Chains A and B, each alone.
Chain A
Amino acid sequence: MTATLTPAPTAALPPPAAPKARGLGERLAPYAYIAPFFVIFGVFGLFPFAFTFYVALFDWNPIGDQVFIGVDNFTRMFGDPRFWNATGNTLSIWVLSTVPQLLLALVLAHVLNHARLRFALFFRMAVLVPYITSVAATAIVFVQLFDRDYGLLNWLLGLVGVEPVDFVQSTWGSHVLIATMVTWRWFGYTTLLYLASLQAVPRSVFEAAAIDGAGSWQRFRHITIPSLRPVIIFTVVTSTIGGLQIFTEPLLIASGAPLTCGAVRQCQTLTLFLYEQGFGQFEFGYGSAIGVALFVMVVAIAAINYLLSTRIKADR
Chain B
Amino acid sequence: MTTTAPRHRPIDRVRWWTYLLLSVATAACLFPLYWMFIVATSDTATATEMPPEVVPGDNFFHLAGLVLDTVPFVQSLLNSLAVATTIGVGQAVLCSLAGFAFAKLRFRGRNVLFLVVVLTMTVPTQLSVIPQYLIMSELGWVDTLQALIVPGLASAFGIFWMRQHISATISDELMQAARIDGASTGQVFWRIAFPIVRPAAFVLGLFGFVTAWNDFLWPFIVLKSPERYTAQIAIKALQNSYDVDLGLAMSGSFLATIPLVVLFVIVGRRMVAGILDGAFKG
Provide the bound-state CA to CA distance between A123 and B18, in Å: 11
Q: Are B98 and A216 in contact (CB under 8 A)?
A: no
A230 within 8 A of B: yes
The answer to whether B131 touches A4, judged by C-beta atoms less than 8 angstroms apart, is no
Select one of A8, A199, A275 contacting B196, CB under 8 A: A8
Q: Quote the shortest CB–CB distance from B86 to chain A (angstroms).
A: 13
Contact partner of A112 (CB less than 8 A), chosen from B22, B130, B159, is: B22
Instruction: Check B191 against A8 for contact (C-beta < 8 Å).
Output: yes
Query: Which secondary structure dominates chain A's binding surface?
Result: helix
Q: Mark A4-29, 1 if CB is under 8 A from B, else 0.
A: 11111000111011111000011101
Docked-complex contact A12 and B191, CB < 8 angstroms: yes
Q: How far is the CA of A112 from the CA of B14 in the complex (A)?
A: 10
CA distance A251 to B135 in the complex (A): 24
Of A76-84, A90-98, A137-145, A170-178, the one with at least 4 CB within 8 A of chain B: A137-145
Tell me whether chain B's interface is mostly helix, strand or loop, or mixed.
helix
Contacts of A295 in B (CB 8 A): 124, 127
Q: If the complex has contacts A8-B192, A150-B47, A155-B51, are A207 and B5 also in contact, measured as CB distance less than 8 A? A: yes
B33 on interface, CB distance cutoff 8 Å: yes
Q: In residues 230-279 of chain A, which contact B (Cβ within 8 Å)?
A: 230-231, 234, 238, 241, 245, 247-248, 251-252, 255, 271, 274-275, 278-279
Contact B3 A52 (CB under 8 A): no
The distance in angstroms between the C-alpha atoms of A149 and B168, with both chains bound, is 57
- B235 interfacial by beta-carbon distance below 8 Å: yes
Contact A291 B128 (CB under 8 A): yes
Beyond the given pairs A13-B191, A14-B187, A134-B235, 8 more chain A to chain B contacts, judged by CB atoms under 8 angstroms and listed by A's residue number, are: A1-B200, A12-B195, A13-B178, A116-B13, A118-B14, A128-B264, A134-B213, A294-B124
Lowest 3 CB-CB distances: which A-B pairs, in order?
A: A17-B182, A137-B253, A48-B131
Q: What are 5 A-B contacts with C-beta separation under 8 Å?
A: A45-B125, A48-B131, A48-B135, A130-B29, A196-B278
